[in-house]
Amino acid sequence: MTAASAPAFPFSALVGHDDMRTALLVNAVNPNIGGVLVRGEKGTAKSTAVRSLVRLLPDVEVVAGCPFSCDPRDPDRHCPAGPHDGAAPRSRPARLVELPVGASTDRVAGSLDVARALTEGERAFDPGLLAAAHRGVLYVDEVNLLADHLVDLLLDAAALGVNYVERDGVSVRHAARFLLIGTMNPEEGELRPQLLDRFGLSVEVRGSRDPAERAEVVRRRLAFEAGPAAFARAYESQDAAVRERIGRTRESLSRVALADRMVALIAGACAKLDVDGLRADIVCAKTAVALAALDGADEVREEHVRRAALLVLSHRRRRGPLEQPSLDEQELDRALGDEPPDDEPPPDGHGGGPAGGGNGRPSSVTRSAREDAGRPRERQPGTPPRSGRAGDDEAPFERDEPAPERTDEPLTGLRAVPLAVRGGGEGAAGRRAPGRTETGRAVGERPHEPGAGVALLPTLMAAAPHQRARERRGPGLALERADLRSPVLEGRRGTLLVFVVDASGSMAARRRMAAVKGAVLALLVDAYQRRDLVALIAARGTGAELVLPPTASVEVAAGRLREMRAGGRTPLRAGLDRARELVRAQRLRGDRRQPLVLLVTDGRANAGDPDPPDAARRAAVALRREGATLAVVDSEQGPVRLGMAAALAEAAGGAPLISLDALAAETRRVA
């Protein structure tokens, strides 16, 4: 839970990542800024930097014996362990508390010590991690994988500086002022925009592409592992200088002047960049002051405002669930200056999402129209088919020669249809279907395990039959540890959503793939809102490719979908078999999410087997036997249809059938 006594990698020995180090120092100087979120790919020293920083923080004076780390000069009058009148002070290093992803609410906030109350008859409060982190650092690695209600709890405590516990007959409040640091890999999923906004600063870190810099990282890491103590001594003086700088800056912070002109500059930039709310303005002002103090300046200058804005606004520019948070420096310079905004559309990632509208970006339909310029016009409904084959306007792709590949932009505006999974089960918390989770209402009990909650009534019922045999111990209720029970909770859980997309030549005809991609993007937005895990499989040519392994990052899935090319034959059986293998592999890894496979196809299986349609039907049946729910999106369009996707859904046990035409009709109806 706390920082180990072994030497940590020195903060001054970190190579590169200037923005991350600056953001950490700014929060060390003024924890009221609200913490920092460090986003970056794996292996970029995110955790190393956090653990290095805590060694540089000044020591704290605490009341001896107080589990809530009260300041002896200004003790918390609401401290559950108080009052502290005349208590002896002691000095200790700042504490690093690491919050595990699987922590419960009781473990984080604290709760009634039920085990102690039942076995010893003493009513006591069991402090949580927020109490341990008071006046120190609370570090959450992979914060994007933390349950939303825990993230809300952390950010509320960080903003208020107080932790309130009102449950299980306990009414407690105690101070909880700490430096909150979260790290995450965006490939594993994003935080909701509402939660992103609660982090004061955000930085993006990437591995250097400079060979010399990478070589220096390797040399320093190998030297540290060969002799941690000797390596730490080599940077001791530099770290001591940083430690002294943090303490000196804290003292000078109140003397830095923030002129009204700088406040107006900050407010104007936030308004021009269309940042929601006023939290960004306030945090930007605090950050600019801290940066000026770190530079030894007496007043905030424009350069401090610009540096602060880059740290404060980048994660607050996100508008849709499929967009990456970002801030273009040229756009920021225009907002800080007097230049009017360009008429050019914003770069990718700054506009509206695929399911939104009015975002300033050209629509997919407009782009498609431009791409079609100069191409031969395709057959319109009612004209004779090109192949002379009645009702089959994709006949050229049924011939032996390979169809040309193409990449279509997705249509926008399609709405997701409701999708349900079969049965109950267990899994990670989400919003797709009911099931056993770590939060929710109690539906049963199980033997108590350390760290788990205690179900009071089941515990008493388990102890009741043994009371006569325990009478010799004295009056009152006699309990043993074996009597304790924990609740079994039922809530809403997430789903493993596997998209199997038919990317064959028949899907490319008549720009059908654009509509397919639009429908899948709408479902990705729905998956994001329901906290699902998503995977993407493309079936084309002679086999199936796992385009995206299971991930919580629907942004990455959307990007892979946009890049997907269509052409060639239709190996539906291979796509369904690949989905079945994926579902089985996830189950072997311990993933308890219920799998939902969404097959997007026109049903024209024509590759890989002597009887491709029959092989596809058998593969669909085998997939359902694996425990997966199967749904089929029928992408067939035109006045005459073969109904092969409907036949496949029926053969697979009556799988739900969704029509692309119905999606478009629903979109027009609600528009």
Output the pLDDT for position 117. 62
- 10 Å CB burial of residue 87 (0-12, 13-18, 19+) is middle
Output the pLDDT for position 606. 78
513 confidence band (pLDDT: 50, 70, 90): confident
DSSP conformation class of 257: B
Same CATH topology for 11-58+94-207+216-250 and 395-424+494-670?
A: yes
Q: Can you tell me the distance from the alpha carbon of 534 to that of 496, in angstroms, rounded to the nearest whole number?
A: 6
Q: What is the 3-state secondary structure (H, E, C) of 266-320?
A: HHHHHHHCCCCCCHHHHHHHHHHHHHHHHCCCCECCHHHHHHHHHHHHHHHCCCC
DSSP string, 382-396: TSPPTTS-TT-TTGG
Output the pLDDT for position 220. 94
Sequence ranges of the domains in the chain: 11-58+94-207+216-250, 256-336, 395-424+494-670, 449-483
How much is the average pLDDT of 437-466? 69
Active site amino acids: 279
How much is the average pLDDT of 180-192? 80
Q: What is the 3-state secondary structure (H, E, C) of 132-156?
A: HHCCCEEEEECHHHCCHHHHHHHHH
Using only C-alpha atoms, what is the Rg of the chain? 30
Q: Provide the CA 528 distance to its chain's centre, in angstroms.
A: 9
Q: Can you tell me the distance from the alpha carbon of 630 to that of 153, in angstroms, rounded to the nearest whole number?
A: 37
Q: Report CA-CA distances (Å) from 483 to 112, 123, 444, 470.
A: 18, 18, 15, 13
Output the pLDDT for position 37. 92
The whole-chain average pLDDT of the chain stands at 76
Q: Which amino acid is at 334?
A: R
308 confidence band (pLDDT: 50, 70, 90): very high
Output the pLDDT for position 474. 62
Contact 308, 288 (CB under 8 A): yes
Contact 577, 605 (CB under 8 A): no
242-269: pLDDT as tens digits: 999 999 999 999 999 999 999 999 999 9
Output the pLDDT for position 443. 57
* 304 has a pLDDT exceeding 90: yes
- To the nearest 10 degrees (0 to 180), the angle between helices 279-294 and 260-272 is 130
Q: Can you tell me the distance from the alpha carbon of 527 to that of 555, in angstroms, rounded to the nearest whole number?
A: 11
Q: Can you tell me the distance from the alpha carbon of 596 to that of 607, in angstroms, rounded to the nearest whole number?
A: 25
**Between 431 and 635, residue with greater pLDDT:** 635
Output the pLDDT for position 379. 39
Q: Report CA-CA distances (Å) from 237 to 14, 319, 347, 369.
A: 15, 45, 45, 64
Tell the CATH topology of 256-336.
Helicase, Ruva Protein; domain 3 (1.10.8)
* 614 has a pLDDT exceeding 80: yes
Lookup: tokens for 201: 């600063």
- Most confident segment among 269-278, 280-289, 360-369, 494-503: 280-289
| CATH annotation of 11-58+94-207+216-250 | 3.40.50.300
Any idea which residue has 């045999």 for tokens?
469
Element containing residue 521 per DSSP (H, E): helix 512-529
Output the pLDDT for position 6. 63
* 348 has a pLDDT exceeding 60: no
Calculate what percentage of the chain has a pLDDT beyond 90. 23
Output the pLDDT for position 380. 38
DSSP string, 458-490: HHHHHHGGGTTTTGGG-SS----GGG-EEEEEE
- Most confident segment among 83-92, 399-408, 523-532, 560-569: 83-92
- 10 Å CB burial of residue 377 (0-12, 13-18, 19+) is exposed
Output the pLDDT for position 369. 36
How much is the average pLDDT of 113-122? 62
**Model's pTM, two decimal places?**
0.63
- Residues constituting the chain: 671
**Between 52 and 384, residue with greater pLDDT:** 52
Output the pLDDT for position 67. 87
In CATH, what class is 395-424+494-670? alpha beta
Q: Can you tell me the distance from the alpha carbon of 601 to that of 537, in angstroms, rounded to the nearest whole number?
A: 12
